Amino acid sequence: MHGIDDRRCASEHSTAPALARRATVFGLDVHAPSSLRLLDGATAEATGRVLELTVADPHVRPRRSPAQAELVCDQREADGRVSFRIKSDQRTGYLIEGPAYGSHQLDVAGRHASCRPGDRAEEVWQRLLIAQVLPFAAVLRGLEVLHASAVVTDAGAIVLAGPSRSGKTTLALELCRRGARFLTDDVLALELAHGRLLGHPGAPVAGLAHGEARRLESLRTPLAAELVGVNDRERLLRMRPAAEPAPIAALLFLQHRRDGSGTARFEAVTDARMLLAATFNTVLRTPARLRSLLELCATVASRRVERVVIGPRTPVDQLADAIQQRVGARL
């Protein structure tokens, strides 16, 4: 399987089975007993942060969470249905589960994850794995995660932040269609290493709304991507990922305004709270994590950090043009 091999990291002791497969995503070396469909194609080199992952027999009933477990996240769909929940217990760690996605147990150190998918298809239960479980483990291992998509250009990584449905993925894939390398979709793992701020490659999969996927397919130069799954909201596309962490060149917050014009307007971000609010994980609030988050935000603020104000009908190709010109990126 391309991008997943049997190599071990000498920098960290591992108890993984001898034939474990490895895929490095979000700065973690995920060791699993067999290939994982939504991690297939990951090409990043090992980092030494090993996460052992096991997948339970679908016929085994999931364990109940401890009675003292605290509900720390309750994510709902627009109609009120539960999307996923996170429960915390000081001894056993974190239970991340959703009616459609199965359950995933993550230990307190972010070194082991146990997945119980039941009878759900690979692309279904692994969607929660890459969207919540692995990013959570990255935070437990000392990295920081932002709610952002990112691509890599000759100028460095361009990070696109914003709330859900703000167009991060659409814009990132438009830039990829033009020649940028895919770094991550929706969740970006960041690391301060020797004074450099690096963005780690995420899972090599992007979730794109059906209408936008059809638009990309209709273009003369379509996006080079493989369809790996479809659900009610999105199509899952396998991307050609970046092979190594990339230095951050710019962080752009997408902001839609009803009174905005069709031309993108760039404004300097002076409020540090925007950076703090961009974190993807608001569950882990230990003093060490908060100190790390503040330090990282201070480093990010030294880069190009701008708000991109766009109107309700700004075409994505025009927005991509404006960002290329603003950052000075050649694709």
Give the residue among 77, 186, 82, 93 at the shortest CA–CA distance from 132.
186
**Looking at the predicted structure, is the pLDDT value of residue 18 above 70?**
no
d(C-alpha 176, C-alpha 178), whole Å: 5
Lowest mean pLDDT segment, chosen from 16-25, 92-101, 205-214, 276-285: 16-25
Place of tokens 């790996």: 228
Place of tokens 């000392």: 142
Which pairs with CB-CB distance under 8 Å and at least 24 residues apart come from 184-187? 184/26, 184/148, 184/149, 184/150, 185/149, 185/239, 186/131, 186/147, 186/148, 186/149, 187/26, 187/131, 187/135, 187/145, 187/146, 187/147, 187/148, 187/280
- Interval 219-223 mean pLDDT: 83
Protein fold of 144-327:
Rossmann fold (3.40.50)
17 vs 103, higher pLDDT: 103
Query: What does residue 198 show for φ and ψ, rounded to 5 degrees?
Result: -115, 145
58 vs 171, higher pLDDT: 171
d(C-alpha 81, C-alpha 100), whole Å: 11
Specify which residues 146 forms β-bridges with.
188, 279
Q: What is the β-pairing status of strands 156-161 and 181-184?
A: unpaired
Lowest mean pLDDT segment, chosen from 57-61, 122-126, 271-275, 309-313: 57-61
**Looking at the predicted structure, is the pLDDT value of residue 30 above 80?**
yes
d(C-alpha 306, C-alpha 308), whole Å: 6
pLDDT confidence of 312, banded at 50, 70, 90?
confident
Give the residue among 123, 99, 110 at the shortest CA–CA distance from 39.
123
Beta carbons of 187 and 26 less than 8 angstroms apart? yes
The DSSP code sequence of 111-124 is SEEEEE-TT--HHH
Q: How many residues does the chain have?
A: 331
Please report, for the chain, the start and end positions of each structural domain, with discontinuous segments joined by +.
21-140, 144-327
For residue range 173-192, list pLDDT tens digits in order: 999 999 999 999 999 999 99
Lowest mean pLDDT segment, chosen from 3-7, 198-202, 262-266: 3-7
